Amino acid sequence: MKSIPYPSRSVSRVAGFLIFALGVAIGLLYFGGATWADIEAFLFDSSFSADKPLTTLNCPVIIGPSETGVLKATFTNPSDTTFRPRIRARFTAGLVSLIREEENRLSLEPGESQQLEWQVTGEDAVWGNFILARIYQFRQYPQLSRTATCGILVVDFLGLGGRWLTALAVVISLLGMLVGLNLWVAGNRPLSGRIQTTTQAMVALAAVVFLGMAGSLTGLWMLSAAMVLVGVLLSFMIIAFLIAA
């Protein structure tokens, strides 16, 4: 009975690196684009400064050009009197200079919470790719003013919606890095010297990409921004190691 032939070490090494590189590239493109959108949103309509951040804002990371995205924020009255906050939501409307505005006046009894929702579409995107939003809660005793921003990436890929795009990017990126690393290690055993250092840098890069995607999915765009910089530096370091090997 013939045994199934395994790829040679050189084939495993090259295939592993290429698959790993593909996983890294998809991950970096995903959370790098999402982070760019959040940075643009942070700068959007920045004249509205506030006393505190509004931590309850929730936004989709990516939507398709024909898809409707829903932003949500919850407002709570922690005081023992009726609270009537004024909420202003501002969105790009196809151009940075064009702003769509919606305003609500809530009436919250002591301890009551209420969620507001706003809808955006691909037509709201500036430069064809970024929907920028700012939610502002005006100061009213006993609460201070609050604000939050978010950027939504608009991606046209095979007509897929944002959830499918996110799932594909995360799964392909993580799977590519895992399979690629395993093939790379199998093709380079025993690990030593510069190859061992390169492998350690690849593991670190995979961790950076994972943290960057996690930051984008949870709204921690500052973490994702830091991971973009570290990821690019590690990528150049790995390439330099391979050239010198």
Q: What is the pLDDT of residues 130-157, one digit of tens each?
A: 999 999 999 887 788 999 999 999 999 8
Parallel/antiparallel/unpaired status of strands 62-63 and 146-154: parallel
Q: Is 228 helix (H, G, I), strand (E, B) or coil?
A: helix
Which pLDDT value is given to residue 245? Answer: 63
| CB 168, CB 160: distance < 8 Å | yes
Which pTM value belongs to this model?
0.85
Mean pLDDT on 71-97:
91
Query: Which of these, 182, 189, 145, lies nearest to 49 by C-alpha position?
Result: 145
Whether residue 192 is predicted with pLDDT greater than 70 in this model: the reply is: yes
Cβ-based neighbours of 60, under 8 Å, separated by 6 or more: 69, 70, 71, 152, 162
What percent of the chain is predicted at pLDDT more than 90? Answer: 69
115 or 80: which carries more pLDDT confidence? 115
Which pLDDT value is given to residue 1? Answer: 44
Which pLDDT value is given to residue 7? Answer: 55
7 or 42: which carries more pLDDT confidence? 42
Identify the weakest region by mean pLDDT among 28-32, 46-50, 58-62.
46-50
Whether residue 2 is predicted with pLDDT greater than 60 in this model: the reply is: no
Query: Which residue type is seen at 70?
Result: V
Which pLDDT value is given to residue 135? Answer: 96
Whether residue 13 is predicted with pLDDT greater than 90 in this model: the reply is: no
Q: Dihedral sign, CA of 216, 220, 222, 223?
A: negative
